[in-house]
């Protein structure tokens, strides 16, 4: 079990870095700098000389290397690492059947992610394909966080929690995913400046939604505002409880959402510079990781919901209606 912990943690860190690198690829319009898949211009390793021999392709070698590095980390480091985790979980399946099922699910999501990566290239980086690719990556990150936290001592999750935590945090987790997906679609649709003001949009609080670019940008802002309110509620509920893990995570994600609001404003004001766009995504994914960790915590913690005990044999259940005597 202890041997799995560093491997699982490294897989979480690699997945986080890959999502950020994917955002960097998207911000620099490098997603099609390798027009084929899984190779890049027919090469597994495209050297500067081989790239120069291609002539004018519309991309710099730096853009090609961004996309190639993203593929390298996914295929050479993260993929085999998750396969190792799955193999270890398989050999421990009799002692930890739930862990084996979770590892199998992670492996399945990874395979889907690889297929979606190819789809984004073959579909010319369409907004929908990029959104699916990012959404599945966030699902993979969440499962890896859950897998990692399962490896901690059981005493860390011994105290029961109110039953409302699971549906509340699941809804907040899904809301953050929707916010990040619409952010990716906004960027890929060329709608990052469709609302060229902040916090207003095109001169008002409720813009004309007839323009599809304004519509997707405004939807992202509405979801982002809803996420902020959800995290505020998380903070209040966590500090009304006595779980130190949830309190710590709530405090961290609240600070991150404040930073995210500031970065979002700067991205608009400074006309979407690459550095701010990547920082905006990095903080957003870190915030999402905190919410995923909170959800994993309550999934691993027993609830304090009352359980209904079966009636004793030979005794009438006092909650059963009385039978009329004949």
Q: Quick: pLDDT tens for 2-47.
A: 778 899 999 999 999 999 999 899 888 888 899 888 889 999 999 9
Residues contacting 256, CB < 8 A, separation 6+ = 283, 286, 287, 290
What is the three-class DSSP state of 41? Answer: coil
- Give me the residues paired with residue 161 across strands: 303
CA dihedral over 73, 272, 269, 205, signed as positive or negative: negative
pLDDT classification of 265: cutoffs 50, 70, 90: confident
Question: Rounded to 5, what percent of the chain is helix, strand, coil?
Answer: 70, 0, 30
pLDDT classification of 253: cutoffs 50, 70, 90: very high
Cα 78 from Cα 30, distance rounded (Å): 21
Which pLDDT value is given to residue 325?
43
Residue whose entry in the numeric block shows the structure tokens 């906004």: 186
Break the chain into its structural domains and give their ranges.
1-151, 156-305
Of 21, 27, 36, 16, give the one whose Cα is nearest residue 120: 36
pLDDT classification of 326: cutoffs 50, 70, 90: very low
Q: Quick: pLDDT tens for 37-87.
A: 888 999 999 999 999 999 999 999 999 999 999 999 999 999 999 999 999
Q: What is the pTM of this model?
A: 0.87
Q: Quick: pLDDT tens for 192-238.
A: 888 877 778 877 788 878 888 999 999 999 999 999 999 999 999 99
Query: For residue 127, what is the enclosing H or E element?
Result: helix 127-150
């Amino acid at each position: 079990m202890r041997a799995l912990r560093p491997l699982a943690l490294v897989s979480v860190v690699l997945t986080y870095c890959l999502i950020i690198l994917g955002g960097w690829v998207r911000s620099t319009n490098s997603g099609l700098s390798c027009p084929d898949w899984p190779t890049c211009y027919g090469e597994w390793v495209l050297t500067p000389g081989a790239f120069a021999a291609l002539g004018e392709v519309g991309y710099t070698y730096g853009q090609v290397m961004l996309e190639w590095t993203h593929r390298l980390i996914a295929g050479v480091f993260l993929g085999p690492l998750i396969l190792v985790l799955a193999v270890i979980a398989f050999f421990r399946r009799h002692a930890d059947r739930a862990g084996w099922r979770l590892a199998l699910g992670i492996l399945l999501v990874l395979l889907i992610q690889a297929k979606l990566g190819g789809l984004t290239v073959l579909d010319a980086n369409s907004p929908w394909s990029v959104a699916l690719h990012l959404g599945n990556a966030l699902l993979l990150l969440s499962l890896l966080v859950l897998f990692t936290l399962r490896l901690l001592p059981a005493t860390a999750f011994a105290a029961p929690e109110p039953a409302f935590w699971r549906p509340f945090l699941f809804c907040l987790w899904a809301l953050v995913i929707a916010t990040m997906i619409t952010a990716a679609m906004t960027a890929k649709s060329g709608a990052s400046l469709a609302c060229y003001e902040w916090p207003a949009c095109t001169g008002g609080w409720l813009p004309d939604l007839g323009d599809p670019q304004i519509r997707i940008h405004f939807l992202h802002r509405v979801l982002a505002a809803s996420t902020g309110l959800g995290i505020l509620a998380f903070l209040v509920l966590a500090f009304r409880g006595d779980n130190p893990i949830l309190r710590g995570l709530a405090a961290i994600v609240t600070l991150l959402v404040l930073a995210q609001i500031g970065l979002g404003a700067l991205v608009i004001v400074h006309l979407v510079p690459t550095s701010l766009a990547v920082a905006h995504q990095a903080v957003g994914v870190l915030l999402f990781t905190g919410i995923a960790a909170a959800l994993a915590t309550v999934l691993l913690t027993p609830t304090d919901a009352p359980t209904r005990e079966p009636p004793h044999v030979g005794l009438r259940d006092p909650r059963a209606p009385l039978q009329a005597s004949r």
